[in-house]
Amino acid sequence: MPVLRTACREAGLACDGADLVRLGENAIWHLRSQSVIVRIARSVEHLKRVEKELCVAQWLSDAGIPTVRVLDHVRQPIVIDDHPVSFWRETDGDGPVPSAVDLAYLLKQFHALRYCPCRLPDFDPLQTAEARFAAATGVERRDREFLADLCAKLSEELTSLEFALPLGPIHGDAHVANLLPDRGQVVLLDFESSASGPREWDLLPTAIAVDRYGLSEDIYRTFVDVYGFDVREWAGYQLLRKVRELTMTTWLMQNVNENSDIAAEFNRRIDSLRNEDFKNAWNRF
């Protein structure tokens, strides 16, 4: 709360009655009286990522792509006690329920942009997964070793993978949960994972959702028709899918001590990866 108060004072905002929305990778606060969302990152080590998020959101907005809006009258990010702080316009919830088809339209516009003014890192999906192994607690040694070995194997195979689509700016974590209704339309948000890399990566979550989360084949076919490319028909799909599902599993691994449901889901995913079972249904978290 002291970081929030100081950051709001520097931004010229009142934080009385602020509500804590979520505490995770960021502390997210809602300034209800001003329709502003404040995101406080864990440490200054995340400063470049926060700068990237702000830049990508502004770039997309300037290009006419519906996106969550940066609070434009505040110079940001602001760093308070080694915590980068960013300010965003609250989405009002007015609009259609976001769908995979909305995601396809937004990704098609995103990937069509030619020049990105933002400093984007090179695509390296396994870097974060590797960092999670040392910090993992409550995970059996055999599971941790299996994931680490799989990570090393996939990292080597990824170096020789040939992509079908042009490389360029990508969202990095493109799924329907990163869409929100706002002012009569669906907007894109969460640019923490944005990078310069293969567009196929942004198409994977929707393809995987058919087998893992029960997305209907008809909806997926519409997604493909709108975007214009079926990533499942690409020769590198299975390899990149393994990479994506490994990152999804290591993300969950960080939270296995929270409750028995998360622990059970982590075990389900580990079994799927061990057995290369691509049809076993997963639960969303």
Q: Structure pTM?
A: 0.93
Q: Which of 42, 63, 89 is the last residue of a domain?
A: 89
Q: Alpha-carbon distance 59 to 30, whole Å?
A: 24
For residue 243, give the 3-state DSSP assignment. helix
Q: Alpha-carbon distance 261 to 69, whole Å?
A: 35
Q: Is the dihedral of CA 186, 191, 192, 196 positive or negative?
A: positive
**Per the structure block, which two tokens stand in for 47?**
């400063």
At 143 the pLDDT is 93
**DSSP letter, residue 235:** T
Output the domain CATH number for residue 210.
Answer: 3.90.1200.10
At 263 the pLDDT is 93
Residue 282 is assigned to a structural domain of this protein? no
42/131 same-domain check: no
156/77 same-domain check: no
**DSSP letter, residue 279:** S
135/38 same-domain check: no
At 61 the pLDDT is 97
133/178 same-domain check: yes
Please tell me the total count of domains within the chain: 2
179/248 same-domain check: yes
**DSSP letter, residue 67:** B
36/59 same-domain check: yes
142/16 same-domain check: no
189/262 same-domain check: yes
Choose among 39, 41, 32, 40: nearest CA to 14: 32
Output the domain CATH number for residue 10.
Answer: 3.30.200.20
Q: In a structure prediction context, what are the per-residue pLDDT tens digits for the chain, which is 285 residues long?
A: 799 999 999 999 999 889 999 887 789 999 998 999 999 998 999 999 999 999 999 999 999 999 999 999 999 999 999 999 999 999 999 999 999 999 999 999 999 998 899 999 999 999 888 888 877 788 898 999 999 999 999 999 999 999 999 999 999 999 999 999 999 999 999 999 999 999 999 999 999 999 999 999 999 999 999 999 999 999 999 999 999 999 999 999 988 888 999 999 999 999 999 999 999 999 998
At 124 the pLDDT is 94
24/153 same-domain check: no
At 129 the pLDDT is 87
73/6 same-domain check: yes
Q: Is the dihedral of CA 64, 70, 71, 73 positive or negative?
A: negative
- Identify residue 11 by its one-letter amino acid code: A
Domain limits at 128? 100-275
161/249 same-domain check: yes
**In contact, 30 and 37? CB cutoff 8 Å:** yes
25/158 same-domain check: no
Neighbours of 54 (CB within 10 A): 21
